[in-house]
Structure 1
Amino acid sequence: MRIAIFSRGPGLYSTRRLVAAATARGHAADVIDHALCSPFLAGRKSTLLHNGSPLELPDVAIPRIGANITTRGVSLIRQLDALSVPHTLSPDALLLARDKMSCLQVLAGAGIDVPRTVLCFSAWEARQVARRLGPFPVVVKLLESTHGVGVALAHNLHQLDRVVEGFLQLQDRVLIQEYIRESKGCDQRAFVVGDEIVAVMERRAAPGEFRANIHRGASAVRIELDDASQELVRFTARTIGVEIAGVDLIQSRRGPLVMEVNASPGLEGIEGATEVDIAGAIIRHAEQKI
């Protein structure tokens, strides 16, 4: 079977692991830079161009869409649909997961507990919201960010103004979110493949840091979720429509809250922490698409 892994870099850990896992199961794996792909529409002769030439279509595709190229990635996946090429990532789910507010709105509408969050379009609005959310600090987020970039903690109104004004120069809106003190800088990342939770790690922020991202120096250990949290993770993934996802939970006094859904989660941190062959699970899932 020919598997196309759409990725910006063949040297990336996640890409290399997927290629190795596919090869180990007897498949041919091609890494294709989706930044060089262009949908070509011509009725029955429609195709996908790569570097300007028609791409030999694979049996199945695994899109690994970078956060800075979401729009192009969505166009690519829709072309795969038009060409009847099975794949592992819904374009609508990708768009939803990448917009933090839209994602939380859909989750909350489904009855899933999320942190108290307000969408703001000005520094003045953010000031009013911060007072309503309770005592400082409050978390300020860009709607589209990754690896903890575009996430800041404001301890007072002065810091809030500076952060919000800076973020508004990058995007036209920001999120103001409650700070969960009782989490003590910890969260849980559950990795979902299909309807199975294949691995879970708990991440603890580095000293002096509140973001529990591996790229920010956080430590991580393998854990097991209780039955209720496992069902919450599965329901969250189904609600957003993602087949392969990282679902982030944070523990609060009112129970676990869903912080975020990552539709193209990295493998390095969680495979290293849990020693689970997640790449192999993804390849097995892709096999079932044929």
Structure 2
Amino acid sequence: MNIGILSRSTELYSTRSLYRAGKRRGHAMHVIDHTRCSLMIDAAEPNIFYQSKPLDFLDAVIPRIGASVTGLGAAVINQFELMGIVSPTSPEALQLARDKLRSFQTLVQHQIPVPKTFMINPSEDLKEIVEKLGGFPVVVKMLESTHGEGVELAHNAWSLQRIMSEFFRYENRLLMQEYIAEARGADTRVLVVDGQIIASMRRQAKPGEFRSNLHRGASSIAIQLKPEEENLVKEVVRVLNIEVAGVDLLPSSQGPLVMEVNASPGLEGIEGTTGKDVAGAIIRLVEKKVKANKRKD
């Protein structure tokens, strides 16, 4: 098969891991910078050009779309689908997971537990919202934050105003969440492929930091999920209709809460921590989807 990896750099760990996994299974792998593609919109013969060459020879693409180009990435995936080229991540799933507000709305619609969250605008009465969240500290997030960027903890009214003023320079709506103190800077990252849990790890923020992102110096260990956690994760990906996902769970006194869902999860931390071949599982899903697509044709 000819499989394209939609990635802006061949140096990224996830890109290289997927490339090697595809090669091990005998596929021709192609790294394509989706921000440099030209889309030909034509009802009879839609196509995509990259470096002046058509990409209609591909059987499948694997999106590795950054948060800063979500809209463009979704359009490129959609164009490939119009061409009959399959992807393990649909444009709808990518955009839904990236928009924390919409994804949370969808989850609570299906009675899936998440931290208590407010969507706020610059004119909101912040004092009243903080009280409804149980008081300080509170977590403030941009809607498309990643790697802990665009996520801050406000300990008092002064720090909250400072964070809001900074974030509102980039977005006109933000999320404010209750702070789950009992988590103590820990969370659980779970990688799901085709409805199956492939790997899971516990992350612990470094001292003085509440964000448990490995990019921020957090530590991690491989773990076995509890049955309630497994069931929760599988329900999350079913509800959001995501075939490749990173699901982050936050421990709380009420049980695990869904903190975030990522439709383009990084592979370096989870593969390095657990030793699991997540990239290989994604390649096998792509093979399955291509075969199904050919049977359909």
Shorter-chain TM-score above 0.5: yes
TM-score w.r.t. structure 1 length? 0.98
Which residue in 2 is equivalent to 1:185? 185
Structure 1: give runs of 5+ residues left out of the alignment. Answer: none
CA contact (8 A) 2:40 2:47 kept: yes
Q: Distance in 2 between matches of 1:245 and 1:263?
A: 5
Which residue in 2 is equivalent to 1:224? 224
Letter in 1 for 2:258: V
Which residue in 2 is equivalent to 1:71? 71
Q: Distance in 1 between matches of 2:145 and 2:135?
A: 25
Misfit runs of 4+, over 2 Å: 51-57, 123-128
Q: Distance in 2 between matches of 1:5 and 1:127?
A: 46
TM-score w.r.t. structure 2 length? 0.95
Q: Distance in 2 between matches of 1:128 and 1:52?
A: 56
3-state SS in 2 of match to 1:150: strand
Q: Give the Å deviation of 1:134.
A: 1.1
Q: Distance in 2 between matches of 1:217 and 1:27?
A: 35
Q: Distance in 2 between matches of 1:264 and 1:246?
A: 7
3-state SS in 2 of match to 1:89: coil
Which residue in 1 is equivalent to 2:295? none
3-state SS in 2 of match to 1:289: helix
Q: Distance in 2 between matches of 1:126 and 1:71?
A: 31
Letter in 1 for 2:246: G
Q: Distance in 1 between matches of 2:46 and 2:285?
A: 27
3-state SS in 2 of match to 1:31: strand
Answer with 121-130 or 91-100: which moved more: 121-130
**Aligned counterparts, 1:1-290, within 5 A:** 1-122=1-122, 124-290=124-290
3-state SS in 2 of match to 1:144: strand
3-state SS in 2 of match to 1:202: strand
Q: Give the Å deviation of 1:54.
A: 2.2
Q: Distance in 2 between matches of 1:65 and 1:111?
A: 29
Q: Give the Å deviation of 1:37.
A: 1.1
Q: Give the Å deviation of 1:227.
A: 1.3
CA contact (8 A) 1:39 1:49 kept: yes
Letter in 2 for 1:51: Q
Q: Distance in 1 between matches of 2:116 and 2:164?
A: 18
Letter in 1 for 2:240: I
Q: Give the Å deviation of 1:52.
A: 4.2
CA contact (8 A) 1:127 1:160 kept: no
Letter in 2 for 1:104: F
Answer with 266-275 or 121-130: which moved more: 121-130
CA contact (8 A) 2:14 2:268 kept: yes
CA contact (8 A) 2:142 2:151 kept: yes
Q: Give the Å deviation of 1:57.
A: 3.0
CA contact (8 A) 1:126 1:176 kept: no
